[in-house]
Amino acid sequence: MPKQTQTIAHLLIFSMSLLTSSEFALAQSEVSTALQTFYDDPLLGTQREEEMPTRYVILRMNPIYMLPAQIYIGALDVGVARSWTLGPTIRGLENISLQTSNLSFHEVGLETTYYFGQPRSTNSFYLRLFYYFSNFTIGSASDGVTADQNFASKSAGFLIGYQWIYQSGFNLNVGFGAEDRYRISNVTLTSPDRSETEVSQLSKGLALAADFSLGWAF
């Protein structure tokens, strides 16, 4: 190939490389602008790690438990390390009357959550370990016979899920896992002549666990 032709070819290749780099830089600039707009949206934009303020507490509630007018306080996740939280969970149902029955339910527990590779207050996958103790009581009466049923249970398990946390502090948790349950059921029947009959039963086994909670980080 003549030297002049080689020079022209080299100039063409160099010009094409400049044009490609320019187009790439323009596209990169447009993408960065779009991402910045998304991040800065106060409703939809989640915060980047370097812009995320330090948040030490996340309060979570499960709205499903609130549908039947159940008193549900929720879970309190307290930051103990960059990617770890630890805190209590509690919910309860106090003396709710349903026709001839009276219901009471209380549950307390402890949860610890690890956020994979991310600070606790950013979007990330998580592993949650939990231990709960609950007590459920039903009292009913029919034809002069009263029945008091008490269910005491313990459960331990894990959840794997994802946390979305937004610029405002609002967050959503969705996860699934398994738990090992241990339950003791006691039923006491009292007849009109005040004689009592008691029946106890023990049950245990694995069950599916799920997490769907809304909360606020501050």
The better pLDDT of the pair 28, 106 is held by 106
Confidence (pLDDT) at 205: 92
Residue 112 exposed, middle or buried by CB count within 10 Å (0-12, 13-18, 19+): middle
Is the predicted pLDDT of residue 53 greater than 80, yes or no? Answer: no
Average pLDDT, the chain: 76
Ranges 59-63, 120-124, 154-158, most confident: 154-158
In the chain, the percentage of residues whose pLDDT exceeds 70 is 67
Which of 56-70, 104-118, 134-148 has the lowest average pLDDT?
A: 56-70
Residue 106 exposed, middle or buried by CB count within 10 Å (0-12, 13-18, 19+): middle
Confidence (pLDDT) at 105: 78
50 with 62: CB under 8 angstroms? no
The pair of structure tokens assigned to 188 is 């006491």
Is the predicted pLDDT of residue 32 greater than 80, yes or no? Answer: no
Q: Backbone dihedral region of 193: left (phi > 0), alpha (psi from -120 to 50 degrees) or beta?
A: alpha
Is the predicted pLDDT of residue 19 greater than 60, yes or no? Answer: no
Residue 104 exposed, middle or buried by CB count within 10 Å (0-12, 13-18, 19+): middle
pTM value is 0.66
CA atoms within 13 A on the CB side of 201: 9
CATH number among 2.40.160, 3.40.390, 3.30.160, 1.20.120, domain 55-217: 2.40.160
Mean pLDDT of 143-148: 78
pLDDT-derived band of residue 26, with 50, 70 and 90 as boundaries?
low
Is the predicted pLDDT of residue 117 greater than 70, yes or no? Answer: yes
User: How far, in Å, CA of 90 to CA of 76, rounded?
Assistant: 9
The better pLDDT of the pair 109, 185 is held by 109
